[in-house]
Amino acid sequence: RFGPQATAFASGWMLVRGARRRRSLDRGFPLSDHVDWPGLLAAVEATGAERVWATHGFTGPVVRWLRERGLDASAVETRFQGDVDDDGARETEPAP
């Protein structure tokens, strides 16, 4: 038998008023899973990667920029349809 439990969610959407309540969560932690441009490029450089696959978001500019710097970069189709909040906000809208 399980003891008391709690639910939590880490997302930038937790900064939106009522997001925790709408998801019936006990706790919400505001932590974005989006990376900024300098952070993304620093991560690629720090790993020494020679091949990079971009899976969603604005893949075109990232792939082009990496290719211009001599990396083997490609956009990969996935089933991911973009970031969608419970209220239907998509990644084309400013993220919290």
Task: Give DSSP secondary structure letters for 38-56.
Answer: HHHHHHHHHHT-SEEEE-S
The pLDDT assigned to 79 comes to 74
Supply 55's token pair: 């899976």
Q: What is the mean pLDDT of the chain?
A: 81
Least confident of 7-11, 54-58, 73-77, 82-86: 82-86
What is the spatial distance between Cα 8 and Cα 66, in angstroms, rounded to a whole number?
36
Query: Does residue 51 contact residue 63 with C-beta atoms inside 8 Å?
Result: no
The pLDDT assigned to 80 comes to 60
Least confident of 7-11, 25-29, 76-80: 76-80
Residue 65 dihedral angles phi and psi, to the nearest 5°: -60, -45
Is the pLDDT confidence value at 87 over 60? no
Is the pLDDT confidence value at 8 over 50? yes
Residues 6 or more apart in contact with residue 94 via CB below 8 angstroms: none
